[in-house]
C-alpha cells in the first residue's frame, strides 16, 4: 500500500469527515474532544481509557484516525503507538500531549505518529491536524 492512502471514509459538503477513536485517560478530555469532533461532522467510533484498550478495539472499530494521549496509566501512548503501527503500518495516529512534553512528541513522530496536538489546544488547531491527515491534498 502506498503512503498516499487517504484516511477519509466519507465526504460531506466537500470536506472529509473522519471516523475517529479517542484514547485518553481523562474523561473530561475525551468529552471535550468528542464534542468538538461531533460538532464538525466527524464520527467518534470509540473512546477508551488507555493504550491497551485502544489496541483491543482498533480492528473492531477500524478508525480512520486515532487521537492518542501520550501520558496514560498501564500502557502509555508511545507504547500503544508502536504496537498499533506494528499491527497496522497504515494506521493514522495523532498524539496529544501537554505543554512541556516536547521530547515525547519528538519520539512519537520518529516512531510514526502522523501529527501531534499540544494540550491545552484550540479546537481549530485540532481540526486542522485532523483535516491535513484525512484529506487527500
Q: Residue 5 — very low, low, confident or very high, per pLDDT cuts 50/70/90?
A: very low
pTM listed for this prediction: 0.87
Cβ atoms within 10 Å of 91's Cβ, excluding its own: 20
Q: Residue 16 — very low, low, confident or very high, per pLDDT cuts 50/70/90?
A: low
Mean pLDDT of 28-34: 95
pLDDT given at position 57: 96
Cβ atoms within 10 Å of 7's Cβ, excluding its own: 20
pLDDT given at position 1: 28
Q: Residue 135 — very low, low, confident or very high, per pLDDT cuts 50/70/90?
A: confident
* Residues 74-125 pLDDT 10s: 888 899 999 999 999 999 999 998 867 778 888 999 999 999 998 888 899 9
45 versus 106: which is more confidently predicted?
45
Q: Residue 38 — very low, low, confident or very high, per pLDDT cuts 50/70/90?
A: very high
Residue 120, preceding peptide bond in cis (omega within 30° of 0)? yes
Mean pLDDT for the chain?
Answer: 86
- 69's CB contacts (< 8 A; 6+ apart) are 23, 24, 25, 26, 29, 77, 95, 96, 97
pLDDT given at position 10: 54
- Complete domains list, the chain, with CATH: 10-134 (3.40.50.2300)
Amino acid at each position: 500500500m502506498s503512503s498516499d492512502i487517504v484516511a477519509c471514509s466519507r465526504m460531506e459538503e466537500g470536506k472529509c469527515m473522519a471516523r475517529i477513536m479517542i484514547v485518553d485517560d481523562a474523561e473530561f478530555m475525551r468529552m471535550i474532544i468528542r464534542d468538538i469532533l461531533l460538532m464538525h461532522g466527524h464520527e467518534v467510533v470509540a473512546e477508551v481509557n488507555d493504550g491497551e484498550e485502544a489496541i483491543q478495539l482498533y480492528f473492531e472499530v477500524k478508525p480512520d484516525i486515532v487521537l492518542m494521549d501520550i501520558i496514560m496509566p498501564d500502557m502509555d501512548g508511545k507504547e500503544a503507538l508502536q504496537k498499533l503501527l506494528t499491527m497496522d503500518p497504515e494506521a493514522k495516529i495523532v498524539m496529544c500531549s501537554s505543554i512541556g512534553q516536547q521530547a515525547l512528541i519528538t519520539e512519537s513522530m520518529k516512531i510514526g505518529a502522523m501529527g501531534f496536538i499540544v494540550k491545552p489546544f484550540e479546537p481549530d488547531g485540532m481540526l486542522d491536524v485532523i483535516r491535513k491527515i484525512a484529506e487527500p491534498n
